């Protein structure tokens, strides 16, 4: 197939997702629990834009001719990897599907994708749209199943040339080991995080509070790049905590199809219980519970927006990825201290800084070991 035709097919798929945007958003909410308005305005919009972006790249990926000594013709050629196994998580099912499908299809690969067992519905529907768009049979294969069976089969298969996995660090280790035991397939991993969100005293306080609230509570706190270690300068610490608690208490929660609600349920009972157990550890280790701290009602997997203050670095809630609506606010004195503490973690996915001083912002961006710094 010509490269330009791959771009046409990806744009056609994006068109079909645009056509069925409301239905896909409804499926995403049914499967995942996130508010419908977020699924429609964010997840669907970003997924469609992602596919269109890579559609544009399809016929613009090329090698180089290289001048070398002697009577030789030297060039590089970009070729498809081959069969790409893709394992995606449950927190952003459709967006993760688009992130995986887009670049692999634009570059001419064949895909075997396993959606999370908790959230397979949108992937299966997109499979029908892929067929409707006219992709050749066998180019995209969506398989459902559990990690230890279907996921393991992808990771270990001798005919899979690459595996891309987004999910927990624990499972990332397993995927990498399986690739090594089999055919040394290429591996791309996007794993967990405990990202520092640093607020200096010169920041606009109200803006920093709102941004920090969003950074933690968006998607029920189920974001791998969530700002889940909030470091606040001691000069504004008390005011920041007070305003953060007020904002958390105003957060609306309930039926995700009700547009007035900001927060839906957690993904399942297992995740809810994990979050509640970590909340209890925070109480026991001496953090000050400012609000929330438990389950909301007895129907559905809802957890009250929770804020802890007086959190220290040794506490479990300051070290472990909670993946839920639980905010930890820690105090710092100066920039060198906060950079050192921000880097005292096994994670390095993302970070953020709030300041009006560009020198501080650049110092944090360069000093904190994170792949993305906002």
For the annotated catalytic residues, the residue numbers are 190, 224
Burial of 131 per CB tally in 10 Å (0-12, 13-18, 19+) = exposed
Q: Which residues pair with 337 in a beta bridge?
A: none
Query: What SS3 class is residue 143?
Result: coil
Distance CA 154, CA 142 (A): 12
* 213 and 226 Cβ atoms separated by less than 8 Å: no
Beta strands of 247-302 (E only): which ranges? 288-291
Distance CA 14, CA 48 (A): 5
Angle (CA) 285-291-297 rounded to 5° is: 105
CA separation, residue 64 to residues 74, 79, 103, 106, 178 (Å): 9, 13, 20, 19, 34
Distance CA 334, CA 234 (A): 9
* 341 and 324 Cβ atoms separated by less than 8 Å: no
Query: What SS3 class is residue 118?
Result: coil
In Å, how far from its chain's centre is CA 187?
Answer: 18
């Amino acid at each position: 197939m010509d490269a330009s035709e791959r771009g046409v097919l990806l744009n056609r798929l994006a068109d079909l997702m645009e056509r069925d945007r409301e239905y896909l958003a409804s499926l995403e909410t049914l499967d995942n629990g996130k508010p419908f308005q977020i699924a429609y305005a964010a997840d669907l919009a970003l997924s469609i834009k992602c596919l269109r972006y890579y559609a544009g790249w399809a016929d613009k990926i090329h090698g180089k001719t290289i001048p070398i000594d002697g009577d030789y013709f030297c060039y590089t050629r970009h070729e498809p990897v081959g069969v790409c196994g893709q394992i995606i998580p449950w927190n952003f099912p459709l967006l993760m599907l688009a992130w995986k499908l887009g670049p692999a299809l634009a570059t001419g690969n064949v895909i075997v994708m396993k959606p999370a067992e908790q959230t397979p519905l949108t992937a299966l529907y997109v499979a029908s749209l892929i067929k409707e768009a006219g992709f050749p049979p066998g180019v995209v294969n969506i398989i459902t199943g559990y990690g230890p069976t279907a996921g393991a089969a992808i990771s270990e298969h001798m005919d899979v040339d690459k595996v891309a996995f987004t999910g927990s660090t624990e499972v990332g280790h397993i995927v990498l080991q399986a690739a090594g035991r089999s055919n040394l397939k290429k591996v791309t991993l996007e794993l967990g995080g405990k990202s520092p969100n640093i607020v200096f005293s010169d920041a606009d306080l109200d803006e920093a509070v709102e941004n920090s609230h969003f950074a933690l509570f968006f998607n029920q706190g189920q974001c791998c790049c969530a700002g889940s270690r909030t470091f606040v300068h001691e000069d504004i610490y008390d005011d920041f905590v007070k305003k953060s608690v007020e904002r958390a208490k105003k957060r609306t929660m309930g039926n995700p199809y009700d547009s007035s609600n900001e927060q839906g349920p957690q993904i399942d009972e297992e995740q809810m219980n994990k979050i509640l157990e970590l909340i209890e550890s925070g109480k026991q280790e001496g953090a000050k519970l400012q609000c929330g701290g438990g389950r909301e009602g007895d129907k559905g997997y809802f957890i009250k927006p929770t804020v802890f203050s007086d959190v220290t670095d040794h506490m479990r809630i300051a070290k472990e990825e909670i993946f839920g609506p639980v905010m930890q606010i820690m105090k710092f004195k100066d920039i060198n201290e906060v950079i050192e503490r921000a880097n005292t973690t096994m994670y390095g996915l993302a970070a953020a800084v709030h300041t009006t001083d560009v020198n501080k912002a650049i110092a944090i961006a360069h000093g904190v070991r994170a792949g993305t710094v906002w």
